[in-house]
Amino acid sequence: MSDLALLDFLTSPDLPVAKHGLKRRDADLDPLMLAAVYSSGPQVTRNHYAHDFFPAVGDPRAEGAYDWTKWQAEPAKPAGQRRPRLKYVSRQEPRSQRLRRQDTETPKSSPPERSPSSSHTLPPSISRTPAHAFPSSDKSAPLEVKCMARTRVPTPHGPVFLHLYHNNHDSKEHLAIVVDPAQFAEPSQPRPAPPIRSRTLDAVWSDAETDMDRITRGAYVGRLSQTSQTPSTPSSSQHPAAAAAAAVPPPLIRVHSECFTGETIGSMRCDCGEQLDEALRQIAQPGAAAAAAARGAVVYLRQEGRGIGLLSKLRAYNLQDLGHDTVTANLLLGHGADERGYAVAAAILRDLGLGGAREPVRVLTNNPDKMAALAAEGIRVVERVPMVPRSWACRQPDAADGAWAKTSAGATMIGGGVVYGADLDKYLRTKVLRMGHMLPLIATGEEDDDP
Ligand SMILES: Nc1nc2c(ncn2[C@@H]2O[C@H](COP(=O)(O)OP(=O)(O)OP(=O)(O)O)[C@@H](O)[C@H]2O)c(=O)[nH]1
């Protein structure tokens, strides 16, 4: 309990004035670790207890103990007389040589015949692409992203292009959901704004690449069908002069983090499913100006549980049921309140031609840390568009708008309605009160229960 009191003191928003100089969130020192160190007496860690390689060494009186006071180092010998260093010699010949030998020794048999319906048989014009663009992750190397595939997905908010990205810093498959229905128009028609396309996808990947390879990975223009199959070229994603874009509002984007519970099983502990749905709904709305077609993207990062992973998030929920809020629950598990990073999101946005000097963006978020992180990554943001939870918007005195407000509660999947409940209110209030989210609080009747 005293650890919890210390933790609460260090992370509370209402620190006494004299302590305001303290870093509260994302502190370099983990408050739980500090509490553990102060209360544990001798300065040893768990590892000191667990490792005891030479049991007798610690106690010179023990049987068989070597008396280290008598130990003397070997006198240094002149360079020529030193014993040669031991060298590890493998009894196997190097793998490359073994493979070469196997190749020459194995009799060449004809490949097994496959039936035409075999799932391994590809039409001759489609070649196999490597499973991962970057065979190994290396965080010390400059960050690179590559769009591996793009495809059209019809949604209740209209068609979107789903892009799957690989990068060289982690092995996760981050996604971008691009809303740009104008790309389906005939290429001859005038475009009010440049198409949102991936440069790495439209690039030529190899000399051996066929048109069918390009089309299969999504590098095509227009609407793909049995009769329309136009591969893109690297210039397809080159943006024309900014003048064309000046007439339309900057694209609306959201950087969203994965939430299996909120998005897939409709959890009403958080508003993540609703936020994803609402973001796509807002991006897919045509702008007020006549020429302003719907245009924007959701970058969907695989940073489940604010970066702590699904396993830890589920455990955090149990701590929340014990009365802790979403921030304290993370800290009690030894995690930060928010462990996410936005470098990959910025790289994906840049790959799509968004967030640079030519195409500054409007960002859907209430999260000040996310705004700061995107700015630090060099993304040019001209406007923050707030994400008002639907359940709070419904309870505003002037809540008249929104067909979604009338749909059934709990249907949080894409195209669904509004989520509400005591758990959600508490989660939203914590985001405002402890994480600084830029959202006006409304009276929910849960205030007294806040820890
Ligand atoms: N650790 C933890 N993560 C949660 C909890 N509830 C939701 N999440 C995660 O929080 C993340 C939601 O992040 P975003 O949708 O980017 O939203 P945000 O950072 O809260 O800010 P906005 O842009 O204003 O929505 C997802 O990764 C969820 O899995 C919780 O109680 N504990």
- Sequence-distant (6+) residues with CB within 8 A of 145 are 165, 166, 167, 174, 200, 344, 347, 348, 351
Q: Decide if 416 is inside a domain.
A: yes
Q: Which of 340, 362, 429, 434 is catalytic?
A: 340
Distance 272 CA to ligand 1 centre (A): 7
Distance 282 CA to ligand 1 centre (A): 19
With CA atoms as reference, report the closest residue to 200 among 134, 149, 151, 152: 149
Nearest CA to ligand 1 atom 23: 365
Q: Which of 338, 390, 425, 429 is catalytic?
A: 338
Among the residue ranges 158-172, 192-206, 388-402, 406-420, the one predicted with the least confidence is: 406-420
pLDDT for residue 58 = 54
Q: Are residues 149 and 41 located together in one domain of the fold?
A: no
What atom of ligand 1 comes closest to residue 261's alpha carbon?
Answer: 29
* CA 387 – CA 393 distance, rounded (Å): 10
Q: Where does the pLDDT of residue 98 fall: very low under 50, low under 70, confident under 90, or very high at 90 and above?
A: confident
What atom of ligand 1 comes closest to residue 387's alpha carbon?
Answer: 24
E strands, 17-119, are none
pLDDT for residue 190 = 76
- Structural domain total, the chain: 2
Q: Are residues 165 and 25 located together in one domain of the fold?
A: no
Residues lining ligand 1, Cβ inside 6 A:
256-259, 270, 272, 275, 303-306, 308, 313, 316, 326, 330, 365-367, 370, 387, 431, 437
Q: Are residues 238 and 358 located together in one domain of the fold?
A: yes
pLDDT for residue 112 = 47
Q: Are residues 346 and 197 located together in one domain of the fold?
A: yes
What atom of ligand 1 comes closest to residue 310's alpha carbon?
Answer: 29
State yes or no: pLDDT of 99 exceeds 50.
yes
With CA atoms as reference, report the closest residue to 295 among 370, 164, 414, 197: 197
The CA distances from residue 209 to 80, 140, 217, 236, in Å, are 60, 31, 11, 17
With CA atoms as reference, report the closest residue to 332 among 351, 312, 348, 346: 312
Residue pair 347/299 in contact by the 8 Å Cβ criterion:
no
Q: Are residues 264 and 411 located together in one domain of the fold?
A: yes
Q: Are residues 26 and 150 located together in one domain of the fold?
A: no
State yes or no: pLDDT of 197 exceeds 90.
yes
Tell how many helices (H) and how many strands (E) occur in the chain. Answer: 15, 9
State yes or no: pLDDT of 205 exceeds 80.
yes
Range of the domain at 15: 2-45
Give yes or no: 340 in active site: yes
Domain containing residue 271: CATH number: 3.40.50.10990
Residue pair 165/145 in contact by the 8 Å Cβ criterion:
yes
Mutate to test the pocket of ligand 1, among 25, 255, 306 (most ligand atoms within 8 A of CB): 306
Q: Decide if 100 is inside a domain.
A: no
Torsion region of 435: left, alpha or beta (phi above 0 gives left; psi -120 to 50 gives alpha): alpha
pLDDT for residue 423 = 81
Question: How many other C-beta atoms are found inside a 10 Å radius of the C-beta of residue 73?
Answer: 5
Higher pLDDT, 410 or 384: 384
Q: Decide if 52 is inside a domain.
A: no
pLDDT for residue 23 = 52
Q: Virtual CA dihedral for 419, 261, 440, 391, nearest 10 degrees?
A: 0
Q: Hey, what are 398's tokens?
A: 């002037």
> With pLDDT > 90 as the criterion, what percentage of the chain qualifies?
41
User: Average pLDDT, whole number, for the chain?
Assistant: 79
pLDDT for residue 237 = 80
With CA atoms as reference, report the closest residue to 433 among 5, 12, 9: 12
Q: Decide if 426 is inside a domain.
A: no
Give yes or no: 338 in active site: yes
Nearest CA to ligand 1 atom 21: 367
State yes or no: pLDDT of 67 exceeds 50.
yes
Highest mean pLDDT among 84-98, 180-194, 281-295, 317-331: 317-331
State yes or no: pLDDT of 109 exceeds 80.
no
With CA atoms as reference, report the closest residue to 224 among 323, 324, 154: 154
Q: Look at the alpha carbons of 253, 259, 260, 266 in this order and tell me if their dihedral is positive or negative.
A: negative
Q: Decide if 112 is inside a domain.
A: no
Q: Are residues 149 and 39 located together in one domain of the fold?
A: no
> With pLDDT > 70 as the criterion, what percentage of the chain qualifies?
70
Mutate to test the pocket of ligand 1, among 272, 314, 332, 433 (most ligand atoms within 8 A of CB): 272
With CA atoms as reference, report the closest residue to 191 among 231, 222, 161: 222
ipTM: 0.96
Q: Where does the pLDDT of residue 83 fall: very low under 50, low under 70, confident under 90, or very high at 90 and above?
A: confident
Q: Decide if 113 is inside a domain.
A: no
pLDDT digits (tens, 9 = 90+) for 289-301: 655 678 999 999 9
Mean pLDDT computed over 389-402: 65
pLDDT digits (tens, 9 = 90+) for 10-65: 777 666 555 555 555 555 666 677 776 666 555 555 454 444 445 445 565 666 66
451: Cα within 13 Å, side-chain hemisphere? 22
* CA 319 – CA 310 distance, rounded (Å): 14
Q: Where does the pLDDT of residue 266 fall: very low under 50, low under 70, confident under 90, or very high at 90 and above?
A: confident
Distance 427 CA to ligand 1 centre (A): 10
* CA 390 – CA 277 distance, rounded (Å): 11
Q: Is 0.90 surpassed by the pTM of this model? A: no
Q: Are residues 10 and 151 located together in one domain of the fold?
A: no
Residue pair 164/173 in contact by the 8 Å Cβ criterion:
yes
Q: What share of the chain is helix, strand, coil (3-state, %, to 5)?
A: 35, 10, 55
Residue pair 343/169 in contact by the 8 Å Cβ criterion:
yes
Q: Are residues 287 and 407 located together in one domain of the fold?
A: yes
Residue pair 3/36 in contact by the 8 Å Cβ criterion:
yes
Q: Decide if 93 is inside a domain.
A: no
Highest mean pLDDT among 177-186, 193-202, 225-234: 193-202
* CA 281 – CA 279 distance, rounded (Å): 5
State yes or no: pLDDT of 367 exceeds 90.
yes
Q: Are residues 165 and 299 located together in one domain of the fold?
A: yes
Among the residue ranges 153-167, 210-224, 364-378, 412-426, the one predicted with the least confidence is: 412-426
Q: Decide if 451 is inside a domain.
A: no
Residue pair 362/382 in contact by the 8 Å Cβ criterion:
yes
* CA 70 – CA 78 distance, rounded (Å): 25
Highest mean pLDDT among 158-167, 243-252, 392-401: 158-167
Nearest CA to ligand 1 atom 3: 305
* Burial group, residue 250, by CB count within 10 angstroms (0-12, 13-18, 19+): buried
Q: Hey, what are 271's tokens?
A: 């508003």
Q: Are residues 237 and 365 located together in one domain of the fold?
A: yes
Q: Where does the pLDDT of residue 102 fall: very low under 50, low under 70, confident under 90, or very high at 90 and above?
A: confident
* CA 321 – CA 329 distance, rounded (Å): 10
